[in-house]
């Protein structure tokens, strides 16, 4: 399982776990399929920000599959 801090690990259509902004304190994860990658930089210390197909925006904590 890859972490979500490197943009190269994340592919559109891939399955990921993200933490939403309002769940950062609790660390509650939401699973989904990546529809857009919102972070332009190659790396981010808190995780690459993505939008899921459901419309949820969050930072990737785990890349489940590509």
- CATH no. for residue 26? 2.30.30
CB–CB of 15/33 below 8 Å?
yes
Give the total number of structural domains in the chain: 1
37 CB neighbour count, 10 Å cutoff: 16
Which residue range forms the structural domain that includes residue 31? 2-65
pLDDT at 1 (0 to 100)? 74
The pLDDT of residue 66 is 58
Q: How high is the pLDDT of residue 3?
A: 85
Condensed to tens digits (0 to 9), the pLDDT of residues 7-64 reads: 999 999 999 999 999 999 999 999 999 999 999 999 999 999 999 999 999 999 999 9
CA distance 50 to 17: 10
């Amino acid at each position: 399982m890859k972490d979500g801090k490197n943009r190269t690990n994340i592919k559109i259509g891939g399955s990921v776990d993200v933490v939403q902004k309002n769940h950062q304190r609790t660390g509650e994860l939401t699973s989904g399929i990546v529809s857009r990658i919102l972070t332009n930089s190659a790396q981010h210390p808190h995780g690459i920000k993505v939008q899921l197909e459901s419309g949820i925006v969050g930072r990737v904590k785990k890349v489940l599959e590509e």
